[in-house]
């Protein structure tokens, strides 16, 4: 599908915006200061030798899985993981940034940071010096041979980890000035050049099909310091021009692609432009188009994106809200992209995005008590933030999290010539050394609408301060300005208000930034609504019951266990959803003296309390709620979708996300298949082969104590394809795909004979040729499920708080003759069963008020069990 192309405006030649050295900006807001402190405490607590252990083992020719003496950290750094070593690169960058943060104000800790950094670099040099070709890594070089097809064995994403290492080394040189770090990086650049220069187009494509991080980005960055043309040539090998061409032409080809694989590619594309200049505008355009596509088609209100690490169908955001949204690394990289696009173009939209994602994603991802960070940030209502552990959760997002909170001050202010850009309203100090100009910002937004800037020193010549006009300013209102208590009218230009004058020490600029409550609606469900106030996304707390996690690939995810009731909708009273939102300032109201908002004219008035989401870390929450009139089709559909998802989650023993690299690695994908994307789903299949030897398989967990099913999704358009499904090389079924559903896709379940599972915790599920037909495709997820429950019984019905009597399938309740209505509560035996009242699907977790219009009011009830079994009842309410 073609989208309107993003126009890219470039600042005049040579005039791009400049960042301030981090030593020149200090954040003083206590919440941000605490985040920095917690991060510093954490990274300083880490044992450098444990982070280096894999590198040391490889340099000594030993198996890094079994390092002796010094033990690897757990999680992704553990011996089982071919991602070991990735954290060190993040650590080097975080520590180098921390060196800058502490250089002036904390000499003792600054010396500690320098000592640790210099030790790490000296050790890396020692390990590299043992190598004849400059190779330095935490797994053997054969790892790179395997993904090139030159060897066989276990593999993951070695270039991804190499990117982290080279980037970290370059950052140590950039921020701390350690020349050895640069020389180690240069030798790695030479090694990368030698390997990549042997790639032909076919091999390059093969390698770039495996996640490689931002290898182009780090090599362009290395080239800026080394000026070695070989490093530039190596960087070019990681520029995926076919992808850049597609995105640059305005086509969204991102559906079902691994999100954090794609974003760094475009950070690197932009760095190519920044490194080589205007002749490379193709890469600038690709980066700008990519950014616009992601923000427009794949981004939630917080600025985060992705579901289960992937971009899903464009604009299908409500459909993919769950407990595995918004991988934190994605925002880390999107902010890199936004920041550099802003520096090149000066376009305020990048600054607007940066502020939103910075506050509502980055600051939302840290536990302010422990300093630990999140992998996912659920957009599904009722989940919670799950934070890593200090020594066993070395996820990718743990590494990028280390970096995030040591650079909180790097994008508040920018400059060009005599222009100072103020992009964010956070209490801070700026010392513009080149201009002898310094100021202090005191801001408490959004608690207050006021931001005050005090000039501490001034150069005696004119300076233009450009204050960003945020996209969240109240509709129909403007920023107002006072200078030394006198009203001042700045010049509005390109999203900024400019104040140009010869400032003097002691001058005070007071800005008033009017705010209002705003609603954000999802494109695929206008009833799914989130709320913002100023720059802050709001969420409502939903309790702390059973906040337990479950494993997810090599990380973890939040859950809603059976029995935990989450109400994810808000019923609007006496008006339509559109009219209620139009009157939002009267329907979501701030409590006097508190930064807390409560609802009006809904069924949740005064119960739900909306507060800044980025400060929430102890409870379940809702950002998006479904706004609905009671019994509307949309409301009933949301109930059904929620219950169906919950029942499948409860029944799932194991699942593999088809073509998800990490999922398939954990599940030991084998065979000669290929993958793709169609109709909103990823698929895996095998082309028909003349010898009938096409197949693929996964190792999957089973539970022999229950009935186990293999659940697969097929496409009706593949009708006629025939193939076999095996369990541990025993033929389970001879499958032929059918043309079953109007929508094209359908699900099947194959029961696994119980005696095939005796004594087993895992099986191998294999799809293979029957004749020369295609195998599959198998779409979306392949699951091992237990039986859905068949219980279609009601547990109870209460009428005005009193339990109704049951005789066979008929309930009766008696009320006083003068009662005009009744409050009904229907409770099924199984929480995932569907309850219908007079053919209307209801929310059985809520009380339902009905009007009693006659002496006897009869209700027809139907309960549909998880497996589709049904049972009917009647309820008679009798006035007596």
The tens digit of pLDDT for each residue in 547-605 reads 999 888 778 899 988 778 898 999 998 889 999 999 999 999 999 999 999 999 999 99
Across all residues in the chain, what is the average pLDDT? 94
CB atoms closer than 10 angstroms to residue 500:
14
Checking if the pLDDT of 39 tops 90, the result is yes
Helix-helix angle 328-345:396-404, to 10 degrees: 40
Contacting residues for 336 by C-beta, under 8 A, at least 6 apart: 267
The structural domains of the chain, with segments of one domain joined by +, span 46-238, 413-443+450-512, 652-786, 794-879
CATH of domain 794-879: 2.60.40
**What is the pLDDT at residue 743?**
66
Residue 677 clears pLDDT 80, i.e. is over it: no
CA-based torsion, 230, 234, 235, 241: positive or negative? positive
pLDDT band for 544, please (50, 70, 90 cuts).
very high
- Which residue in 702, 661, 676 sits closest to 778, CA to CA? 676
**DSSP at 474:** P
Cα three-residue angle 680-681-685, rounded to 5 degrees: 140
Q: Could you read off the pLDDT of 288-299 as tens digits, one per residue?
A: 999 999 999 999
- Single out the residue of 554, 544, 551 nearest to residue 662, CA to CA: 554
Determine which helix (DSSP H) or strand (DSSP E) holds 697, and give its type and residue range.
strand 695-701
In angstroms, the CA 282 to CA 245 distance is: 8
Asked if residues 522 and 599 have their Cβ atoms less than 8 Å apart, the reply is no
Query: Tell me: the pLDDT tens digits for 777-836?
Result: 999 999 999 999 999 999 999 999 999 999 999 999 999 999 999 999 999 999 999 999
User: 3-state class of 433 per DSSP?
Assistant: helix
pLDDT of residue 749: 93
Mean pLDDT of 84-89: 96
Residue 356 CA to residue 350 CA, distance in Å, equals: 10
Between CA 716 and CA 745 the distance in angstroms is 6
In terms of residues, how long is the chain?
A: 880
Q: Outline where DSSP puts E strands in 702-774.
A: 708-715, 722-727, 730-736, 745-752, 762-769
* Gap between the Cα atoms of 694 and 444, Å rounded: 63
pLDDT value of position 208: 97
Sign of CA dihedral 388, 390, 395, 401: positive
Burial 228-240 (b: 16+ CB within 10 A, else e): bebbbebbebbbb
Instruction: Match 């009905």 to its residue by tokens.
Output: 850
Domain 413-443+450-512 has CATH 3.30.70: no
Each residue's pLDDT tens digit, 217-228: 999 999 999 999
Comparing CA positions, the residue from 435, 432, 366 lying closest to residue 402 is: 366
CA 208, 52, 118 angle in degrees (round to 5)?
105
Distance CA 584, CA 600 (A): 9
Q: What is the SS3 assignment for 669? A: coil
Going by C-beta distance under 8 Å and a sequence separation of 6 or more, which residues neighbour residue 69? Answer: none
Task: Report the pLDDT value the prediction gives residue 11, as an integer from 0 to 100.
Answer: 62
Rounded to whole angstroms, how far apart are CA atoms 768 and 261? 30
Instruction: Report residue 2's pLDDT band, with 50, 70 and 90 as the boundaries.
Output: very low
pLDDT at 675: 87
CB within 8 A of 579, min separation 6: which ones? none
Q: Residues of 535-565 as b/e, b for ≥16 C-beta within 10 angstroms? A: bbbbbbbbeeeebeeeebbbbbbbbbeeebe
- For residues 775 and 725, give the distance between their C-alpha atoms in angstroms, rounded to a whole number: 10
d(CA 27, CA 29) in angstroms, rounded, equals: 6
18 to each of 100, 195, 243, 369, how far by Cα in Å?
17, 35, 29, 34
Quick one: pLDDT band at residue 10, thresholds 50, 70, 90? low
363 Cβ contact list (under 8 Å, min separation 6): 31, 32, 35, 614
Question: Taking a C-beta distance cutoff of 8 angstroms, is the pair 505, 456 a contact?
Answer: yes
Report the distance separating Cα 850 and Cα 820, nearest Å. Answer: 9
**Given strand 821-828, what is the order of strands in its sheet?**
802-803, 794-799, 821-828, 848-851
Q: How far apart are CA 781 and CA 459, in angstroms?
A: 63
Phi, psi of 550 (to 5 degrees): -135, 155
Pairing of strands 670-671, 695-701: antiparallel
**312 vs 9, 192, 215, 304, 567, CA distance in Å?**
29, 33, 25, 13, 25
Is cis: bond before 283, omega within 30 of 0?
no
Place of tokens 């495709």: 777
pLDDT, position 164: 98
627 exposure class (CB count in 10 Å sphere: 0-12, 13-18, 19+): buried
Cβ neighbour number for residue 69 with a 10 Å cutoff = 7
- Residue 740 — pLDDT band, cuts 50, 70, 90? confident
Rounded Cα distance, 584 and 649, in Å: 35
**CATH topology agreement for domains 413-443+450-512 and 794-879:** yes
Q: Are 732 and 796 in contact (CB under 8 A)?
A: no
- In CATH terms, the fold of domain 652-786 is Jelly Rolls (2.60.120)
Helix (H) or strand (E) holding 16: none
User: pLDDT tens, 443-488?
Assistant: 999 999 999 999 999 999 999 999 999 999 999 999 999 999 999 9
């Amino acid at each position: 599908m073609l989208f309107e192309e993003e126009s890219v405006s470039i600042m005049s030649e040579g005039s791009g915006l400049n960042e301030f050295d981090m030593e020149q900006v200090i954040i003083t807001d206590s919440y941000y200061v605490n985040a920095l402190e917690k991060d510093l405490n954490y990274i300083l607590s880490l044992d450098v030798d444990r982070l280096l252990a894999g590198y040391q083992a490889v340099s000594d020719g030993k198996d890094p899985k079994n390092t002796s003496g010094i033990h690897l950290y757990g999680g992704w750094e553990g011996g089982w993981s071919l991602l070991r070593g990735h954290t060190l690169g993040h650590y080097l960058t975080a520590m180098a940034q921390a060196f800058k943060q502490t250089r002036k104000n904390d000499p003792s800790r600054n010396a500690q940071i320098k000592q640790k950094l210099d030790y790490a670099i000296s050790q890396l040099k020692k390990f590299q010096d043992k190598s004849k070709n400059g190779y330095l890594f935490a797994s053997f070089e054969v790892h790179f041979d395997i993904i090139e097809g030159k060897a066989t064995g276990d593999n993951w994403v070695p270039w991804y980890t190499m990117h982290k290492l080279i980037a970290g080394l370059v950052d140590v040189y950039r921020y701390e000035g350690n020349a050895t770090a640069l020389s180690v990086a240069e030798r790695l650049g030479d090694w990368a050049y030698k390997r990549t220069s042997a790639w032909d187009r076919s091999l390059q494509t093969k390698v770039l099909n495996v996640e490689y991080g931002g290898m182009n980005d780090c090599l362009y960055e290395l080239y800026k310091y080394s000026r070695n043309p070989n490093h530039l040539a190596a960087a070019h090998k990681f520029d995926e021009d076919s992808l850049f061409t597609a995105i640059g032409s305005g086509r969204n080809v991102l559906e079902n692609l691994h999100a954090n694989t794609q974003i760094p590619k475009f950070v690197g594309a932009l760095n190519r432009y920044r490194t080589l200049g205007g002749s490379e505008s193709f890469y600038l355009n690709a980066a700008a188009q990519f950014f616009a596509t992601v923000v427009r088609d794949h981004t939630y209100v917080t600025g985060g994106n992705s579901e289960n690490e992937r971009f899903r169908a464009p604009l299908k955001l409500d459909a993919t809200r769950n407990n595995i949204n918004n991988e934190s690394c994605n925002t880390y990289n999107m902010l890199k992209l936004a920041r550099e696009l802003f520096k090149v173009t000066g376009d305020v939209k990048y600054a607007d995005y940066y502020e939103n994602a910075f506050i509502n994603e980055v600051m939302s991802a840290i536990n302010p008590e422990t300093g630990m960070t999140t992998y996912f940030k659920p957009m599904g209502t009722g989940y919670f933030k799950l934070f890593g552990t200090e020594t066993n959760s070395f996820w990718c997002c743990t590494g990028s999290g280390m970096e995030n909170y040591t650079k909180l001050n790097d994008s508040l202010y920018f400059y060009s010539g005599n222009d100072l850009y103020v992009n964010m309203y956070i209490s801070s100090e700026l010392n513009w050394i080149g201009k002898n100009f310094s100021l202090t910002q005191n801001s408490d937004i959004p608690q207050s609408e006021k931001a005050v800037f005090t000039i501490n020193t001034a150069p005696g010549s004119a300076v233009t301060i450009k204050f960003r006009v945020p996209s969240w300013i109240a509709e129909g209102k403007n920023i107002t300005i006072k200078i030394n208590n006198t009203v001042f009218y700045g010049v509005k230009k390109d999203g900024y208000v400019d104040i140009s004058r010869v400032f003097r020490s002691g001058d005070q600029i007071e800005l008033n930034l009017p705010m209002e409550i705003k609603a954000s609606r999802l494109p695929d469900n206008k009833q799914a609504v989130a709320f913002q106030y100023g720059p802050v996304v709001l969420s409502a707390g939903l309790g702390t019951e059973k906040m337990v996690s479950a494993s997810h690939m090599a990380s973890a995810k939040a859950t809603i266990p059976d029995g935990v009731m989450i109400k994810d909708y808000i019923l609007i009273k006496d008006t339509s959803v559109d009219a209620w939102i139009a009157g939002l300032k009267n329907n979501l109201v701030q409590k006097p003296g508190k930064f807390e908002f409560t609802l009006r004219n809904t069924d949740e008035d005064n119960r739900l309390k909306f507060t800044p989401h980025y400060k929430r870390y102890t409870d379940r929450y809702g950002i998006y709620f479904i706004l609905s009139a009671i019994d509307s089709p949309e409301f009933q559909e949301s109930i059904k979708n929620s219950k169906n998802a919950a029942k499948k989650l409860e029944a799932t023993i194991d699942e593999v996300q088809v073509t998800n690299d990490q999922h398939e690695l954990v599940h030991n994908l084998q065979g000669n298949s290929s993958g793709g994307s169609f109709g909103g789903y990823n698929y895996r299949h095998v082309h028909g082969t003349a010898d009938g030897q096409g197949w693929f398989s996964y190792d999957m967990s089973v539970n022999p104590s229950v009935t186990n099913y293999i659940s697969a999704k097929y496409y009706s358009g593949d009708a006629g394809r025939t193939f076999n499904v095996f369990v541990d090389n025993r033929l389970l079924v001879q499958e032929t795909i059918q043309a079953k559903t109007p929508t094209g896709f359908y699900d099947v379940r194959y029961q696994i004979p119980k005696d095939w599972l005796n004594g087993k915790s895992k099986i191998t599920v294999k799809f293979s040729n029957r004749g020369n037909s295609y195998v599959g495709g198998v779409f979306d997820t392949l699951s091992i499920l237990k039986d859905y429950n068949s219980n279609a019984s009601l547990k109870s019905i209460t009428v005005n708080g009193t339990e109704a009597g049951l005789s066979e399938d008929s309930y009766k309740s008696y009320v006083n003759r003068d009662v005009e209505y009744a409050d009904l509560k229907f409770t099924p035996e199984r929480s995932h069963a569907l309850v219908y009242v007079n053919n209307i699907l209801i929310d059985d977790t809520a009380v339902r008020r009905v009007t009693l219009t006659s002496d006897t009011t009869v209700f027809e009830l139907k309960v549909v069990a998880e497996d589709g079994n049904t049972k009917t009842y009647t309820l008679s309410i009798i006035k007596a």
